[in-house]
């Protein structure tokens, strides 16, 4: 195929592609996102190709390798269309059966289906799996339908329809107006209204302007941007191109985190294809609009995700923040007006143009529109990427989509917003996913991290963990951030070790106020959040650590002790065999005893002791009882 020179040619090409595709023909899709690749998608793909040949169904089925579906812990994932039959954890040896049974005989391979951990029920179709059922996958949805490296696939799902409309039917002002009317807010963290930001860059004086995609995604455990970039790079390219037209830029940069090789690879192929078809480069679709894109690989630091640091890093300078104002919209890349948005923000743009601002703004709450992708992890049955309409409650996400807390443990808190987000307790579970509501509750939307914690999680330790991350990742330029985090981290570490002093809570508040109030960039301004939100909602845990040297969650190693209750020990030796530290004195028919000096607090004995005996106790805040004397240890 040569360059597409007009919207009419584009539509003709699209028609041709769709005409060749029979929607009723069985299509086996295999997820080939980073996570599924790590669990063996490559081998499954090879088996699939081989088996299709071997069983002689080359003309009867189509196969396609797609992007991430979001349910990565269950990968590699195979979905068979048109029905949407969903097989999980598929291995190469399952493929023969999938073809001989499902493709040839329309029979389901039961053992590959999803089993609900709570009810034990199986689900055949993707849409029946609770993890998917309650989602609204407007952005991630295409991932499972298209091969991210295929322009034809993207065109088959309305791809490049939006840019054609924008270039030929809309003025740049109208495009900005549409994004404003959609009330889209940035998905990268701050939730700034995107249309307004575009307007600033558009109205900023200067001939040379730039658009930038922020795909630095440094939050530990978060990968929504990776999945969008890997799974649907054309959507990001199209969104970026629309933004460029709107603000008057002809050059774009995509800043991708160093650790995302597949995203870079798919993106590079997508850019090459788009160039080949004339959907990038000079005179796009014959409109006179020129646009080129360069991919830049990040330096691997969390702070490089902050926009001014990112732009410095793009210029080859130290990846450290600048003061704002001036904002990038006025003085950005190489001091030119620059509009920078997050991957997910850009990926929403083609949809807003195609479906209209009214469609988009009808979804969500008063102040937050559309959907948001979260990375749901931690103590929750179903982990993965979930896309929900704004306004969904945290409870629904954790319990309906996530399937609740595993085992018989109790929910304790949910942390949203990445490392500098906040922890919310059970009584705030009805909080809605909404930029303002989350902030008011003391958490934040951030870029979409969501970590569920159960009763065994110590929130003082959680605050310590996040501050340790931020202490490493702060650029270190300004005092309140660098020193404030250092001091808060020291106090929190002391608390988890039983070394806290009276007055430490007040000192934490004082340090938090200075760091929040006077830091240069948002890393410092939000760094106290983990401390403040846990102090506000779980203050009693702090007080127990300080006043009683007790960890209520029995998790801080230096505040707990393992103790075998002599009355309950049956001398079975399960703990003795499990202990890696040889810290248990045992013997046949003898009461077992933990030698405290040797114990490394691994918890092995506690797990090993049969539930019926329940002899191993975790103590905190109380002295460990004297060990039963040697001569009194015989049982029965």
Partner 1 sequence: MSEISLQIDGKEVAVSAGTTILEAARSLGIEIPTVCDHAQLSPYGACRICTVEADANGRTNLVASCQYPVEKDMVVRTKTEQVDKIRKVLLEQMLSHAPDSEQLVALGQIYGADRDRFEKEASFCILCGLCVRYCAEVKKKDAISFFDRGAKREIAFLPEIAMQECWDCKECFPLCPTSALQAAYVLTEALMTPTEPAAPSCGGGCSSSEGCG
Ligand X SMILES: Cc1cc2nc3c(=O)[nH]c(=O)nc-3n(C[C@H](O)[C@H](O)[C@H](O)COP(=O)(O)O)c2cc1C
Which residues sit at the interface with ligand FES, rule CB under 6 A? 31, 33-36, 68-72, 75, 77
Other CB atoms within 10 Å distance of the CB of residue 174? 12
Q: What's the CA gap between 635 and 590, in Å, rounded?
A: 5
Q: Establish if 300 lies at the interface with partner 1 (CB under 8 A).
A: yes
**458 Cβ partners below 8 Å, 6+ apart?**
496, 541, 551, 552, 553, 555, 556
Q: Contact with ligand X (CB under 6 A): which of 305, 389, 391, 421?
A: 305
Question: By C-beta, is 304 or 605 nearer to partner 1?
Answer: 304
Burial class for 485, CB neighbours closer than 10 Å (0-12, 13-18, 19+): buried
Site string for partner 1, 129-148 (x = CB under 8 A): --------------------
Q: Contact with ligand SF4 (CB under 6 A): which of 28, 129, 212, 605?
A: 605
Contact of 527 with 484, CB cutoff 8 Å: yes
Burial class for 324, CB neighbours closer than 10 Å (0-12, 13-18, 19+): middle
Q: Tokens standing for 329?
A: 């919209």
Per CB under 6 A, which region of 165-173, 305-313, 400-408, 588-596 contacts ligand X?
A: 305-313
Q: Tokens standing for 561?
A: 């002790």
Q: Establish if 583 lies at the interface with ligand SF4 (CB under 6 A).
A: yes
Q: Establish if 384 lies at the interface with ligand X (CB under 6 A).
A: no
Q: Binds 295, which of ligand X, ligand FES, partner 1, none (CB < 5 to 8 A, cut-off by type)?
A: none
Q: What's the CA gap between 278 and 5, in Å, rounded?
A: 7
**370 Cβ partners below 8 Å, 6+ apart?**
138, 182, 184, 348, 360, 361, 363, 364, 389, 390
Q: Establish if 596 lies at the interface with ligand SF4 (CB under 6 A).
A: no
Per CB under 8 A, which region of 205-213, 301-309, 341-349, 562-570 contacts partner 1?
A: 301-309
Going from the C-alpha of 410 to that of each of 77, 405, 426, 461, 560, the distances in angstroms are 30, 7, 10, 18, 20
Q: Establish if 310 lies at the interface with ligand SF4 (CB under 6 A).
A: no
**Minimal distance in Å, beta carbon 515 to partner 1?**
9
Q: Between vectors from CA 102 to CA 101 and to CA 108, what angle results, nearest 5°?
A: 90
Q: Contact with ligand X (CB under 6 A): which of 235, 353, 467, 521?
A: 521
**Minimal distance in Å, beta carbon 226 to ligand X?**
11
Element (H, E) at 620: strand 616-620
Q: Establish if 333 lies at the interface with partner 1 (CB under 8 A).
A: no
User: Which residues inside 506-535 make contact with partner 1, applying CB under 8 A?
Assistant: 510-511, 513-514, 517-520
Other CB atoms within 10 Å distance of the CB of residue 144? 24
Count of residues engaged in binding ligand SF4, rule: CB under 6 A:
28
Q: Establish if 216 lies at the interface with ligand X (CB under 6 A).
A: yes
Q: Binds 298, which of partner 1, ligand SF4, ligand FES, none (CB < 5 to 8 A, cut-off by type)?
A: partner 1
Q: Establish if 261 lies at the interface with partner 1 (CB under 8 A).
A: no
**Per this entry, what is the length of the chain?**
636
User: Which residues inside 186-215 make contact with ligand X, applying CB under 6 A?
Assistant: 186-190, 192, 194, 214
Question: By C-beta, is 231 or 391 nearer to ligand FES?
Answer: 231
**Minimal distance in Å, beta carbon 397 to ligand X?**
20
Q: Binds 26, which of ligand FES, ligand SF4, ligand X, none (CB < 5 to 8 A, cut-off by type)?
A: none
Using Cβ positions, the residue closest to ligand SF4 within the complex turns out to be 524
Q: Contact with partner 1 (CB under 8 A): which of 159, 480, 571, 586?
A: 480
Q: Between vectors from CA 329 to CA 480 and to CA 181, what angle results, nearest 5°?
A: 110
Question: By C-beta, is 514 or 608 nearer to partner 1?
Answer: 514
Q: Contact with ligand SF4 (CB under 6 A): which of 104, 297, 409, 477?
A: 477
Q: Establish if 481 lies at the interface with ligand SF4 (CB under 6 A).
A: yes
Question: By C-beta, is 176 or 301 nearer to ligand SF4?
Answer: 301
Q: Establish if 568 lies at the interface with ligand SF4 (CB under 6 A).
A: no
Query: Cis bond leading into 325, ω under 30°?
Result: yes
Q: Binds 599, which of ligand SF4, ligand FES, partner 1, none (CB < 5 to 8 A, cut-off by type)?
A: ligand SF4
Q: What's the CA gap between 140 and 386, in Å, rounded?
A: 9
| Helix, strand, coil shares, percent, the chain, to 5 | 45, 15, 40
The sign of the dihedral angle between the CA atoms of 169, 174, 179, 183 is negative
The sign of the dihedral angle between the CA atoms of 147, 152, 158, 159 is positive
Interface contacts to partner 1, rule CB under 8 A: 258, 298-301, 303-304, 309, 313, 315-320, 323, 325, 470-480, 482-487, 489-490, 510-511, 513-514, 517-520
Residues lying near ligand X in the complex (CB under 6 A): 186-190, 192, 194, 214, 216-218, 302-303, 305-307, 340-342, 345, 447, 521-523
């Amino acid at each position: 195929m040569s360059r597409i020179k007009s919207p009419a040619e584009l539509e003709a090409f699209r028609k041709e592609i769709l005409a060749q595709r029979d929607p009723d023909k069985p299509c086996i899709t295999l997820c080939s996102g980073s996570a599924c690749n790590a669990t063996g998608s490559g081998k499954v793909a090879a088996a699939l190709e081989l088996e299709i040949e071997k069983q002689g169904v080359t003309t009867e089925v189509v196969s396609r390798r797609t992007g991430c579906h979001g349910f990565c812990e269950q990968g590699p994932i195979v979905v068979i269309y048109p029905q949407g039959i969903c097989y999980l954890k598929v291995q190469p040896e399952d493929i023969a059966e999938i073809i001989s049974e499902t493709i040839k005989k329309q029979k389901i391979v039961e053992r590959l289906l999803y089993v609900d951990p709570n009810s034990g029920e199986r689900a055949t179709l993707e849409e029946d799996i609770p993890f998917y059922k309650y989602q609204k996958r407007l952005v991630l949805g295409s991932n499972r339908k298209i091969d991210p490296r295929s322009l034809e696939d993207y065109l088959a799902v309305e791809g490049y329809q939006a840019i054609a409309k924008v270039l030929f039917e809309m003025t740049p002002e109208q495009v900005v107006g549409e994004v404003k009317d959609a009330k889209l807010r940035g998905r990268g963290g701050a939730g700034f209204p995107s249309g307004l930001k575009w307007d600033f860059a558009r109205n900023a004086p200067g001939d040379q302007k730039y658009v930038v995609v922020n795909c630095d995604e440094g939050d530990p455990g978060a990968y929504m941007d990776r999945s969008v970039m890997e799974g649907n790079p054309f959507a990001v390219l199209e969104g970026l191109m629309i933004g460029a037209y709107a603000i008057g830029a002809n050059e774009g940069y995509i800043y991708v985190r160093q650790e995302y090789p597949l995203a870079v690879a798919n993106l590079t192929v997508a850019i090459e294809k788009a160039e080949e078809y004339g959907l990038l480069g000079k005179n796009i679709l014959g409109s006179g609009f020129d646009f080129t894109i360069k991919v830049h690989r990040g330096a691997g630091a969390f702070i490089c995700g902050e926009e001014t640091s990112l732009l410095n890093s793009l210029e080859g300078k130290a990846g450290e923040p600048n003061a704002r104002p001036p904002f990038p919209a006025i003085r950005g890349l190489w001091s030119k007006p620059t509009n920078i948005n997050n991957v997910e923000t850009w990926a929403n743009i083609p949809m807003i143009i195609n479906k209209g601002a009214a469609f988009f703004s009808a979804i969500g709450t008063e102040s937050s529109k559309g959907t948001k992708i979260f990375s749901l992890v931690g103590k929750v049955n179903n982990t993965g990427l979930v896309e929900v309409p704004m306004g969904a409650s945290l409870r629904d996400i954790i319990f309906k989509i996530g399937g609740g807390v595993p085992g018989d443990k109790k929910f304790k808190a949910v942390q949203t917003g990445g490392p500098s987000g906040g922890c919310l307790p059970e009584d705030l579970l009805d909080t809605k996913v909404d930029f303002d509501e989350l902030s008011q509750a003391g958490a934040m939307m951030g870029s979409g991290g969501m970590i569920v914690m159960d009763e065994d999680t110590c929130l003082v330790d959680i605050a310590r963990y996040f501050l340790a991350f931020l202490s490493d990742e702060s650029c270190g330029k300004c005092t309140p951030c660098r020193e404030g985090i250092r001091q808060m981290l020291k106090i929190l570490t002391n608390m988890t070790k039983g070394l806290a002093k009276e007055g430490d809570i007040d000192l934490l508040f004082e340090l938090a106020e200075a760091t929040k109030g006077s830091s240069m960039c948002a890393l410092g301004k939000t760094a106290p959040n983990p401390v403040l939100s846990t102090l506000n909602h779980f203050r009693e845990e702090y007080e127990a650590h300080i006043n009683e040297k007790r960890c209520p969650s029995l998790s801080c190693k230096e505040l707990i002790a393992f103790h075998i209750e002599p009355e309950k020990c049956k001398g079975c030796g399960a703990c003795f065999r499990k202990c890696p530290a040889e810290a248990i004195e045992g013997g046949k028919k003898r009461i077992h005893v933990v030698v405290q000096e040797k114990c490394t607090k691994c918890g092995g004995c506690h797990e090993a002791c049969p539930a019926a005996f329940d002899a191993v106790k975790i103590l905190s805040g109380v002295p460990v009882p004297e060990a039963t004397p040697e001569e009194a240890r015989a049982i029965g």
